[in-house]
Homo-oligomer: A and B are copies of this chain.
């Protein structure tokens, strides 16, 4: 039983409000006042839970990382042993996992949008540098792991350089996310999905 409000719930409420503002107006014009307003809180209240703007921003990005990362890990668990499945299902599962990083529905669109803005900011704002780096490393680790599993199951074309292929896959996913967010009319979700499937099938052993 919380005393009055659950501080963690409040923080999440604020973070959700921040995400809405970032999606609507962009990170560069997301102010404390704007977030407080969106969360229907007074700026004074907001500042009771986040000592500074930087703390709020870092907490928000970490929160986003946890959400997406948790979903990815859950899917990895759910898949379990890849080798015991028929190859088409292996590819489908891999594609669905990677599609978690594409703006295919409203939830993922929000996540990718926020994520891109934060990453872009991280280039010049040292407050986000470490987080952005860990995300980039984590993504590559995940991709390498997926490719290694598929390869161990004998589902990949022989002769592939898995290091290069992981980077190629990372670039593809990043690029699809970028275009899907910036130009949804040029790259609708279905097409983005088709491109991903085409790419994976190109990696798979012929047959």
Contact = CB atoms under 8 A, between A and B. Distances in A.
Interface residues of A, number: 46
A194 B123 contact: no
Nearest to A168: B195
Interface in A39-80: none
Contacts of A198: 161, 164-165, 168
A122 B181 CA distance: 11
Contacts of A179: 136, 167, 170-171, 174
Contact of A123 (B121, B122, B132, B182): B182
Contacts of A125: 26
A205 to B, nearest CB: 14
B136 A183 contact: yes
Interface in A150-164: 161, 164
A134 to B, nearest CB: 11
A81 interface: no
28 contacts: A24-B124, A25-B124, A26-B121, A26-B125, A28-B28, A119-B178, A120-B182, A122-B182, A123-B182, A132-B183, A133-B183, A136-B182, A136-B186, A164-B195, A165-B198, A167-B195, A168-B172, A168-B195, A168-B198, A170-B179, A171-B179, A172-B172, A173-B175, A174-B175, A174-B179, A175-B178, A178-B178, A202-B202
